[in-house]
Amino acid sequence: MIDKNLVAAPGTPERALLDQLDLARLPRHVAVIMDGNGRWAKRRHLPRVEGHRAGAAAVRDTVETAARLGLDALTLYAFSTENWKRPKAEVSTLFTLLKEYLGREFRTLAENDIRFRVVGRAEGLDGSVRSALGMALEATAGCHGMVFSVALNYSGRAEIADAARSLAREVAAGRLRPEEIDEAAVARRLYTADLPDPDLLVRTSGEMRVSNFLLWQIAYAEIHVTPVLWPDFRSRHFLEALLDFQRRERRYGGVSEADSQVASAPPAPAVLDA
């Protein structure tokens, strides 16, 4: 049961948005490409890393809103395999911010029954990052509420390639027949195997790209792009994204309900010329 007062106080603009939402039709899984930290800092004549620091506050707000709305899953794209190309100092600050965030938040996550997890090649991360991640994973392992995933050292294509390799190994070992490889078999070998596919993909800062994020899983996701830069993204913007999602008609390659009724209706009687 959602406590509306916990999501947005009565009389606020956020509450007005929340009141327009159909709480029975929320997406189960929302994925977010957090973008615009650098531009946020540039506009303020600050170093880029200050944008990332401010972005960590937006992470907190978004996790809180998603959990209070009772979503099943929230996945945030924090670091792609391509992000290693950034200046060393920026990469190191990003991971320091992540460690600080986990150190500050892991108890709150556990207290709110939020299960933390990582999607991506965690083995490619520095030891101190892996131990901070391990602590949060352990602290929330018994939680059964929202699954909060952070994509780190993540690449959608690499994830699909890894799944293909794992299938090939099973075939080579005689545990699997090639005919048994279907979409479900691939999906079971992805990082998100036990999660529903994202229904909604949000991207901040106005860029119209999916940037190698959850390529398999977003096949039918609705996409909401907001011009808001990630450090400014707050519950109001999250609620706006959810409202936008509810205005969409999801057809999964079929036709709309109205059109399907037209298609199955008996032909209209011919109109005779008077």
Question: For residues 74 and 180, what is the distance between their CA atoms, to the nearest angstrom?
Answer: 31
Pair 47, 41: CB distance under 8 Å: yes
> Dmax of the chain from CA atoms?
85
Minimum CB distance to ligand FPP, residue 136 (Å): 11
Which residues does 60 contact at the CB level (< 8 Å), separation at least 6?
A: 101, 105
Which residues does 257 contact at the CB level (< 8 Å), separation at least 6?
A: 249
Binding footprint of ligand FPP on the chain (CB under 6 A): 34-39, 52, 55-56, 59, 76, 78, 83, 94, 97-98, 101, 150
Minimum CB distance to ligand FPP, residue 9 (Å): 25
**Tokens 């009389």 belong to which residue?**
11
Nearest CA to 238 among 56, 12, 69, 54?
Answer: 69
Active-site residue set:
35, 83
Question: For residues 78 and 213, what is the distance between their CA atoms, to the nearest angstrom?
Answer: 11
The 3-state DSSP class for residue 222 equals strand
Within a 10 A sphere around the Cβ of 121, how many other Cβ atoms?
A: 16
**Tokens 């390529």 belong to which residue?**
215
CA distances from 139 to 70, 72, 108, 110 (A): 20, 19, 10, 6
CA distances from 101 to 98, 122, 188, 198, 200 (A): 5, 17, 30, 24, 25
